Amino acid sequence: MRPMILLTTCVCLAASAALAGCGAAAHRQATLAPATTPSAARAAIGTADWYCLNAGERREMLMLRGPGHDRLAALTIGTGQVAVVLAHQVSGTLCQWWPYARSLAAAGYRVVAFDFDGCGASPPGDGDYPGEVAAAAEWARGHGARQIVLMGGSMGGTAVIVAAARLGASITGVIDLSGPAAFASMDALGAARRVRVPVLFGYGTQDGAFAEGVQAVRAATASHDKPVVTVPGGTHGAALVDPEVGYPSVRDAVLRFIRAATRS
């Protein structure tokens, strides 16, 4: 899969190995009941994400109100006035991030992870992934966050760059791990020219066209504060920070970046 190709389908894996549509194929409107609260409603989400969660975390799952009629399965962990919004990659759900989310929470940050529409436990929607990132950031701000960092892996990295261009100074920083320069209708290369908050970029040097895409987006980013962390090999996206298979150097770089950007 090359980052600059306009993708037309995306498949997400559920816990039972059943398949649910996700990605550009999710550009379709869903008919859903209105949320019972302005921003989110707790719901019996189902089991799509439960395989990576403990019993207490399962009880805490909620539905965020996304763009249009979208409803997004989400989970938050940790406390504090700095929130990190995690955006997953293709064939994934919030479970791609969850072991790492726990470590961020242990470091003193509030984490908000969610399933893009049509992925995991989120019903299909209109595929406005940057808008869904923005909805998660809005929810975090409405629940006590003073500063928000957007973090995405692969497709999620593309989404957080585009979302950052839309949100401007209302966010504090962005972390893009292996994000393609373009994915479906998202153009991170164009959006980067409007991103002026600090951005951390990370990738594996042998991750082919993905590494090239991150380099191009970093070069185009308007911010003067745009550090980069690289590792040898082709480790990709959220795996770069995974506590089991990722790299301590990348996890350390992420924490340093968050602390510097938020002065936390």
Examine the pLDDT at 69 and tell me if it is beyond 50.
Answer: yes
Cα angle: 198, vertex 216, 232; to 5 degrees: 85
Residue 187: how many other CB atoms lie within 10 Å: 16
Q: Domain segments of the chain: what residues?
A: 32-262
Per residue in 118-148, pLDDT (tens digit) is 999 999 999 999 999 999 999 999 999 999 9
Q: Which two tokens stand for residue 245?
A: 């298979």
- Strand duo 40-42 + 71-77: pairing: unpaired
Rg of the chain over Cα atoms, rounded to whole angstroms, equals 16
Q: In CATH, what number does 32-262 get? A: 3.40.50.1820
Q: Order of strands across the sheet with 82-87?
A: 40-42, 62-65, 71-77, 110-114, 82-87, 147-153, 173-177, 199-204, 228-231
Residue 52: band (very low, low, confident or very high) from pLDDT cuts 50, 70, 90: very high
Q: What is d(CA 226, CA 181) in angstroms, rounded to the nearest whole number? A: 16
40: confidence class by pLDDT, cuts 50, 70, 90:
very low
Cα dihedral value 55, 59, 63, 64, nearest 10: -90
Q: Is the pLDDT of residue 263 over 60?
A: yes
- Start-to-end C-alpha separation, the chain: 38
The pLDDT of residue 19 is 30
Task: Write down the pLDDT at residue 6.
Answer: 30
Element (H, E) at 13: strand 11-13
Q: Indicate if the pLDDT at residue 11 is higher than 80.
A: no
Instruction: Give the other-Cβ count within 10 Å of 245's Cβ.
Output: 11
Predicted confidence at residue 22, as pLDDT, reads: 72
Q: What is the pLDDT of residues 137-187, one digit of tens each?
A: 999 999 999 999 999 999 999 999 999 999 999 999 999 999 999 999 999
Q: Which of 204, 239, 255, 257 is nearest to 99 (CA)?
A: 239
Of the candidates 99, 208, 90, the one whose C-alpha atom is nearest the C-alpha of residue 156 is 90
CA dist 112 → 61, 93, 97 (Å): 11, 13, 10
Record the tokens describing residue 235, joined without a space: 């480790």
Higher pLDDT, 10 or 232: 232
For 233, counting Cβ atoms within 10 Å of its Cβ (0-12 exposed, 13-18 middle, 19+ buried), the class is: exposed
- How confident is the model over 19-37, as pLDDT tens digits? 334 754 333 222 223 333 3
Which pLDDT does position 28 carry in this prediction?
29
Residue 195 has pLDDT above 50, yes or no: yes
Percent of the chain with pLDDT over 90: 81
* 262 confidence band (pLDDT: 50, 70, 90): very high
Question: Could you give phi then psi for residue 112, rounded to 5 degrees?
Answer: -125, 115
